[in-house]
């Protein structure tokens, strides 16, 4: 290879970098591979499944409260768990819808619903469900403590699921070559994290939709989805790519979204328009 050919190649590469084509090529063809390698790891898959189960549990509790049938409980549990991802994949015309490509998510919802159904029935037969005497003495205090602990645990796993779904929304935006990434990355992150829950509460006829009223929820996915998207756009201008740096950006997004959601939950931060 002659020095002239190398120099010509370098000039062409510089031109590609100046007009933005180089960053676009990296963002559309290299980053999907690096991001997929990160989200395909066992630790991220575990977080994703835990979050899916947490969303399903929220649906089961609403079904219990509204005295829904077993199938009704499955609908209320599956919508926040996988509904947002299905809508997202249909919007971007993804070749294989995620829930169809991997049955683990739907199976997790089914197992969670059946476990909740059996657990509630056993609790009712054993007289462990709150009854008319549930407000007396130390028993009431114990129930309050257990309820607070349960709500905190559910809130934590729900926040974990929101964080994982935020990352997945941005990954799908990159894979589907949605441009500009700074716009579609956050939108798909919010759709993945909150879209199914919104539809669930519309089906329930809940006028006080918690995903749209009161507290911050989808906004958290929007903000951290935007942060990850901006990082990927900035990082595409570099020549030296390391999978560990992409993984670190994913971890920072996970932790940031998780801590933000927990802060909103414990500090009871409300929307300024609420």
Provide the pLDDT for residue 203: 86
For the ranges 30-39, 56-65, 235-244, which has the lowest average pLDDT? 235-244
Q: Which residue has the tokens 């049955």?
A: 103
Using pLDDT thresholds of 50, 70 and 90, give the confidence band for residue 90. Answer: very high
The domain of 140 spans 27-267
- Tell me the pLDDT tens digit for each residue of 5-60: 999 988 888 888 888 788 788 878 888 888 888 888 888 999 889 889 988 988 88
Using pLDDT thresholds of 50, 70 and 90, give the confidence band for residue 132. Answer: very low
Q: Is residue 4 part of a domain?
A: no
Q: Which residue has the tokens 């589907």?
A: 176
Q: What is the mean pLDDT of residues 175-201?
A: 91
Q: Is residue 19 part of a domain?
A: no
Contact 246, 34 (CB under 8 A): yes
Q: Is the pTM for the entire model greater than 0.85?
A: no
**Across the chain, what does the average pLDDT equal?**
84
Cα separation, 140 vs 273, whole angstroms: 36
Contact 177, 35 (CB under 8 A): no
Q: What is the mean pLDDT of residues 244-269?
A: 91
Decide if pLDDT at 135 tops 70.
no
Using pLDDT thresholds of 50, 70 and 90, give the confidence band for residue 148. Answer: low
Question: Above pLDDT 90, what percent of the chain?
Answer: 34
Q: Which residue has the tokens 């570099």?
A: 238
Decide if pLDDT at 74 tops 80.
yes
Q: Is residue 200 part of a domain?
A: yes
Q: Which of 11, 71, 57, 20 is nearest to 179 (CA)?
A: 20
Contact 175, 95 (CB under 8 A): no
Domain count, the chain: 1
Q: What is the mean pLDDT of residues 177-190?
A: 93
- Which helix (H) or strand (E) covers residue 194, if one does? helix 181-204
Distance of CA 75 to the CA centre of its chain: 18
Measured over the CA atoms of residue 104, residue 195, residue 73 and residue 141, the dihedral's sign is positive
Provide the pLDDT for residue 258: 93
Q: Is residue 7 part of a domain?
A: no
Provide the pLDDT for residue 138: 56
Q: Is residue 238 part of a domain?
A: yes
Distance of CA 209 to the CA centre of its chain: 18
- Tell me the pLDDT tens digit for each residue of 248-257: 999 999 999 9
Packing angle between helix 31-39 and helix 243-267, nearest 10 degrees? 60
Q: What is the mean pLDDT of residues 219-223?
A: 94
Distance of CA 81 to the CA centre of its chain: 9
Q: Which of 21, 46, 18 is nearest to 254 (CA)?
A: 46
Q: Which residue has the tokens 């809940």?
A: 206
Q: What's the start-to-end Cα distance of the chain, in Å?
A: 67
Q: Is residue 213 part of a domain?
A: yes
Decide if pLDDT at 140 tops 70.
no
Exposure b/e, 252-261, CB count within 10 A at least 16 = b = ebbebbbebb
Distance of CA 34 to the CA centre of its chain: 19
For the ranges 92-106, 134-148, 153-167, 210-224, which has the lowest average pLDDT? 134-148
Residue 98 Ramachandran class (φ > 0 left, ψ -120 to 50 alpha, else beta):
alpha
């Amino acid at each position: 290879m002659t020095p002239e050919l190398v120099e010509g190649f370098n000039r062409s590469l510089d031109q590609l970098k100046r007009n933005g084509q180089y960053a676009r090529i990296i963002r559309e063809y290299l980053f999907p591979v690096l991001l997929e390698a990160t989200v395909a790891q066992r630790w991220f898959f575990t977080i994703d499944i835990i979050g899916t189960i947490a969303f399903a549990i929220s649906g089961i509790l609403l079904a219990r409260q509204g005295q829904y049938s077993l199938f009704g409980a499955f609908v209320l549990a599956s919508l926040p768990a996988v509904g947002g991802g299905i809508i997202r994949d249909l919007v971007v015309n993804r070749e294989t819808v995620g829930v169809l490509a991997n049955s683990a998510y739907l199976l997790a919802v089914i197992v969670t619903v059946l476990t909740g159904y059996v657990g509630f029935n056993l609790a009712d037969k054993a007289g462990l469900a709150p009854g008319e005497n549930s407000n007396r003495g130390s028993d009431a205090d114990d129930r309050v403590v257990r309820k607070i602990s349960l709500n905190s645990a559910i809130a934590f796993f729900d926040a974990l699921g929101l964080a994982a779904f935020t990352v997945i929304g941005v990954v799908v935006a990159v894979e589907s070559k949605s441009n500009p990434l700074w716009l579609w990355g956050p939108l798909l992150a919010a759709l993945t994290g909150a879209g199914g829950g919104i539809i669930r509460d519309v089906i329930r006829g809940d006028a006080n939709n918690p995903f749209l009223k009161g507290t911050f929820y989808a906004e958290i996915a929007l903000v951290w989805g935007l942060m990850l998207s901006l990082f990927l756009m900035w990082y595409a201008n570099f020549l030296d790519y390391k999978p560990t740096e992409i993984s670190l950006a994913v971890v920072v997004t996970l932790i940031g979204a998780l801590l933000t959601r927990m802060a909103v939950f414990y500090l009871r931060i409300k929307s300024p328009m609420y």
